[in-house]
Amino acid sequence: MRKLWWFLIISLSIGGSVFATPSQSILAPFDISRPLPYFIADGKGKKGFTTTDMGLARWALADWQRSSGQAIRFEPAPESSALIRLYWAEPSEGRYGEMERIVVDGRLGAALYIHPDMAALGPDIAEQADRDPLLRESIVYLTCVHELGHALGLQHTREYRDIMYYFGYGGDIPKYFDRYRAQLRSREDIAKVSGLSPGDITRLKALYGLP
How many domains in the chain? Answer: 1
CA distance 189 to 181: 10
Q: For residue 58, what is the domain's CATH number?
A: 3.40.390.10
Domain ranges, residue 24: 2-208
Q: What is the mean pLDDT of residues 186-202?
A: 98
pLDDT at 119: 85
Per residue in 21-60, is it b (16+ CB within 10 Å) or e — as a string?
eeebebbeebeeeeebbbbbbebeebebbbeebbbbbbbb
pLDDT of residue 94: 56
77-108: per-residue pLDDT in tens?
999 999 999 999 987 665 568 899 999 999 99
